[in-house]
A and B are shown apart, each in its own frame.
Chain A
Amino acid sequence: QQQVKQSPQSLIVQKGGISIINCAYENTAFDYFPWYQQFPGKGPALLIAIRPDVSEKKEGRFTISFNKSAKQFSLHIMDSQPGDSATYFCAAPSGAGSYQLTFGKGTKLSVIP
């Protein structure tokens, strides 16, 4: 069973700063790593995803960096805004051929003005 270890558990960043959330996974067979953003009372919303054959993917202020040899990937939020305050989850497929996702425990981001 895939384990996804996410850190930190909570993060406070000043407006305009860079938020960095890290995830580590175990099984190198996996081929898709999405990040989700969740606001209170809402379901998770897909933010950005990466394949392991790509070292970096950028969409607006959000960038995923992928280190295949270290089995780690991270989310960077540039120019963090108060509206980015939410819980962020990394995820990975739970097994070869599986379509279920295993999620990290989440990082609660607070961006203060």
Chain B
Amino acid sequence: DTGVSQDPRHKITKRGQNVTFRCDPISEHNRLYWYRQTLGQGPEFLTYFQNEAQLEKSRLLSDRFSAERPKGSFSTLEIQRTEQGDSAMYLCASSKTGREQPQHFGDGTRLSIL
């Protein structure tokens, strides 16, 4: 069990640029979640996948955000035309199927918008 892996760990970009983050879940996990965490707050849900299907999206996921999980394995989260308010830690989690299956988090990608 190698854990959830996220890349990059840190991303600094200028306002208006596009950024893409990658998440590699635990291999046998078919559920994958994206959360956003700002300083002093708990993680906020963005979206989740069951295999390759995106099943839930939060109102926080504006049309500048898009997430994919093309083969049901790794996932990417893209933010287009970044804004100052996008600065946050973007966390990925994965779990097995089942409501009480724990969500295991990666160490996140910290995004800073200049």
Give the B-binding residues of A (Cβ under 8 A).
6, 31-32, 34, 36, 41-46, 49, 51, 89, 91, 93-94, 98-106
Contact = CB atoms under 8 A, between A and B. Distances in A.
Interface of B: 4, 31, 33, 40-45, 48, 55-56, 58, 91, 93, 95, 99-100, 102-108
B99 A34 contact: no
Given A100-B45, A103-B44, 6 more contacts: A41-B107, A43-B91, A43-B93, A89-B42, A93-B99, A99-B95
B100 A31 contact: yes
A99 B100 contact: no
Contact of A99 (B31, B42, B44, B105): B31
Contact of A104 (B42, B45, B103): B42
A93 B102 CA distance: 12
A49 B48 CA distance: 21
9 contacts: A34-B102, A34-B103, A42-B107, A44-B105, A89-B42, A98-B56, A99-B33, A100-B45, A106-B40
A103 B107 contact: no
Contacts of B93: 43
Nearest to A6: B42
Nearest to B106: A43
